[in-house]
Amino acid sequence: MDRIYLDWNATSPLLPSVQDAMTEALESVPGNASSVHQHGQQARSIVERARRAVADAVGAPGQSVVLTGGATESNNQVLRSHVRRVDDPHIVCSAVEHPSVIEVVEQLGEEGVEVAICPVDEAGRLDREYLRDELKAGATLVSVMWANNEMGNLYQVGELADMIHEYGALLHSDTTQAFGRLPIDFESSGVDIATLSFHKTGGPKGIGALVLREGCKVGSLMAGGHQERGRRPGTENVPAAAGLEAAAQAVDEQVETWQQEMKQQRSTFLEQLREAIDDFEIRGHTEQCLPNTLNLAFPDIDGEDLLMALDLEGVSVSSGSACTAGSLEPSHVILAMGYDHDDARRSVRFSFGPSTSQASLEEAADRIGRVVRRLSNI
């Protein structure tokens, strides 16, 4: 039985071009990118090419990109740096943010920083009046993700930026799940600081980026080096940077094609599921959403039970963020949408990518149907 991987929002297979680039760097580039000799300059060239490739892929100036260890590190850096740099910081984030945002905001609140969590409705849409009230009360930074990792909702960051800037605050957006799934134009978006990771779309793990609008400053989380102009000390991961360059180039060249392909895949997958299963619920916004993500709930079936049963059937899915995998508690995202504890536990996320074949999605729908019918009978 061939296994079917439908957990791309947790991580994705490496693109062949990424693997080749990383292998070549591992085998032929021994230098430290901060060294002045030729081996060092060869490594430095790879790091700078990666920076430019990210900038090109998101429509930003090359000097605006800071390479980091991943989106979780980047989110921590943005939020904690803001608290250090701003008088009377007041941070607002949405109730459906990734744990690397919402948990940091909660910790800052425990440390005495003024914070607020913006609620959402049953479809995961922001309560904009609540947000406006917080802005009127002096919010200095608002963090709203470009696209949600669990239900796939897209947030209209351009509209939000207009509102947020009206009150003199900054907009930070975790852009990890949007990158590679839809075109991103940082310059026109109005976002002040974007954070990125690349392993959800064929890139390497362990490397990410900050993208800063001109005039925005972010301090380092750590001390001990001058790398990234003092904003991220530590020896650069040159093989990961080589893979990042390849991944960013692939996104820059193919994201619009991938987006259309995944829209069609999602539509066909849903059609096949409806033929295989009598009843299920789609959670989240059904129109303003990522083309590769579906959060589904099946009547009277616990999500963890379904996840394990599907794993035995050769289908890999998840019940929420990989960063909270193993928790006995239901997803904070689904709870924030107003579902009770038991209903929230029924959610299962299906996510796929450009290399997911239509045939595998059709086969997955058949297997899901068999498992759901079996569990329903039990």
Show the tokens assigned to 1.
Answer: 């039985």
Nearest to 278 by CA among 171, 212, 369, 159: 369
How far is the C-alpha of 49 from the C-alpha of 148, rounded, in Å?
29
* 109 Cα distance to chain centroid: 24
**Helix segments in the chain, DSSP class H:** 16-28, 38-58, 71-85, 99-110, 128-136, 157-166, 186-189, 238-276, 303-312, 332-336, 341-344, 358-377
Please identify every residue annotated as catalytic: 323
User: What residues are paired with 196 via a beta bridge?
Assistant: 209
| Rg over CA atoms, the chain | 21
* Sheet bearing 65-68, strands edge to edge: 65-68, 208-212, 193-197, 170-174, 141-143, 90-94, 114-118
How far is the C-alpha of 45 from the C-alpha of 33, rounded, in Å?
8
E strand or H helix at 113: none
Amino acid at 357: S
What is the DSSP code string of 96-109?
A: T--HHHHHHHHHHH
* Sheet bearing 281-283, strands edge to edge: 281-283, 293-297, 347-351
How far is the C-alpha of 25 from the C-alpha of 348, rounded, in Å?
38
Show the tokens assigned to 319.
Answer: 């019940």
